[in-house]
Structure 1
């Protein structure tokens, strides 16, 4: 079968010679439909859901939908209640919805948020969801020294371990902004994967400290904090955009290993309208043959065990 590179080269030469018109190009070989890569467990398309557990760990006067016009020296009290919604209403509502849908998710947990709401963190794990690390608090870790960052990550891990009894295997930096030393530190601390990467629609393996380390790509396209909290989209627009992304990835998954990431934040994705949208969205996905939902630690294990996983 003619490769894409060979076809483009041939078509270009013929076109310059005036021998190829639109009708001839239309009759060119179709895209290869025989699978060139696939999931080792037989899945067609893997969907991975993130549920950020951050509320309660935010700094004073953190970013919020309110105008950033607080006078210096005063506390933004309404903004604090917006964050409180995340652990009072948001996560509990999402947990019920995941149970209803039969989906297990990955919860990226900020250490200080977990310590302030330990019962909720325990419940997340008890319901079968993954507890992943998300730092000690919302500090900017890429500016830290090697030792400072290592302690920062370790403090977050210890908080999750202390409350849930689980040692996180995956990591997510605040706004994905890791530093030059982050991956080396994660490898040293026993992590197996991180998500602070947007470069692919499937997991891949990199070398860190001369050892395999998995990248389970994240998303900004299917992310409530970017689209909904950012006030660019309404809930129905969010639903339509994510559905369109799913449809395209499902089509591609007929011949290529594909993973779809969708992200929800406690105080945003846990609102009634967003939970309703998520229910409609995932019910739609579940009607498609071969679609499975996996925690990110499961995806990382599959990637490590599969010799055909992309390596960079």
Structure 2
């Protein structure tokens, strides 16, 4: 009996297949492949939505009396010693705590490094790379570069990149200007120096390609909306407010990713995002995001290379 039931079942399937083929000219397996092809992810690696996290390594490279949470009432000629300790927290506690958190979460991030900070804390810079994270350039120091002439800016960017490579053994391919304020020559210089992408752009929620020196150059957009320096320090958000703001961003982008390529950017700074309360909040936030199917976390150099290799990438 069991063999007969098996035979009848198989015969029914074959008959159904034959019927479907007679109407469509395709087998069931062919129809299945056709349906799957319509379920596009819009990312060439099959991700539904990509999350990119920045970990700014700036502390230790700041100028004297740099902006801090303390009142701006220091008299000229004196050094804001307590303010300096606020920055010291970034490399003494902040980045080490964030690195442990990324490891617990199983994700890799991009660290935009101010080279003066790298030179002051070389072992920490090496650890970031050894743990599998990207070392990207963030200028030689905190100087503005939009007002530099061509040769000054080229030296500024090259010296910064060379310092990172000397300390970490990795040549940076991504760039972030101080407060995103690049100059008219910045991209041309970056292309000449071998960089493949920059992040100083807020115009899209997905990466795109531009022409620089008649060559393709990737733009991996940054964020101010999901940025601790703007929300926590600038707007005095609580950790709950930060969590909810970033969560709402994800909850909107995730359904959008059914129909178009979506990139979500989140940014943390060493002395802000590395505090205990922020690391705890970040852990809960990332675990919430990780519960959603098809979400992947990528370094920005990975995103840039994928963008440059993909023929369907938006071009401007």
TM-score normalised to structure 2 length: 0.87
> Which residue pairs with 1:97 in the alignment?
101
> Deviation at 1:36?
7.6
Specify the alignment match of 1:77 in structure 2. Answer: 81
CA RMSD for the aligned pairs? 0.9
Contact 1:37 1:308 in 2 (8 A): no
Return the alpha-carbon distance in structure 2 between the equivalents of residues 142 and 69 of structure 1. 28
- Unaligned regions of 5+ residues in structure 1, if any? 1-33
Give structure 2 stretches of 5+ with no counterpart. Answer: 1-37
- Asked if 1:179 is matched to 2:177, the reply is no
In structure 1, the residue matched to 2:192 is: 188
1:224 corresponds in structure 2 to: 228
| Equivalence for 1:308 | 312
Cα distance in 2 between the residues matched to 1:254 and 1:277:
27
Q: Report deviation, 1:229.
A: 1.2
Give the Cα–Cα distance (whole angstroms) in 2 for the partners of residues 243 and 37 of structure 1.
Answer: 21
Matches of 1:256 and 1:231, distance apart in 2? 31
Name the CA distance, whole Å, in 2 between partners of 1:263 and 1:131.
15
TM-score, with length taken from structure 1 = 0.88
Is the aligned partner of 1:281 residue 2:282? Answer: no
Shift >3 Å, 4+ stretches: 34-37
Q: Mapping of 1:20-169 within 5 angstroms?
A: 38-169=42-173
Higher helix share: 2
Match of 2:216 among 208, 212, 217: 212
Q: CA deviation at 1:232?
A: 3.0
Taking the aligned partners of 2:202 and 2:133, their CA distance within structure 1 comes to: 23
Pair 1:258 & 2:262 matched: yes
Q: Which of 222, 226, 239 in structure 1 is aligned with 2:243?
A: 239
Kindly indicate whether the alpha-carbon contact (under 8 Å) linking 2:206 and 2:220 is maintained by their aligned counterparts in 1. Answer: yes
Q: Indicate the residue corresponding to 1:20 in structure 2.
A: none
Alpha-carbon separation, structure 1, partners of 2:115 and 2:263: 28
Aligned to 1:310, the other structure's residue is in SS state: coil
The aligned counterpart of 2:26 is: none
Say how many residue pairs are matched.
279
SS at match of 1:143: coil
Question: Displacement of 1:170 after TM fit?
Answer: 0.1
Is the radius of gyration larger for structure 1 or structure 2?
2
Q: Distance in 2 between matches of 1:230 and 1:123?
A: 30
Distance in 1, Cα, partners of 2:72 & 2:123: 32
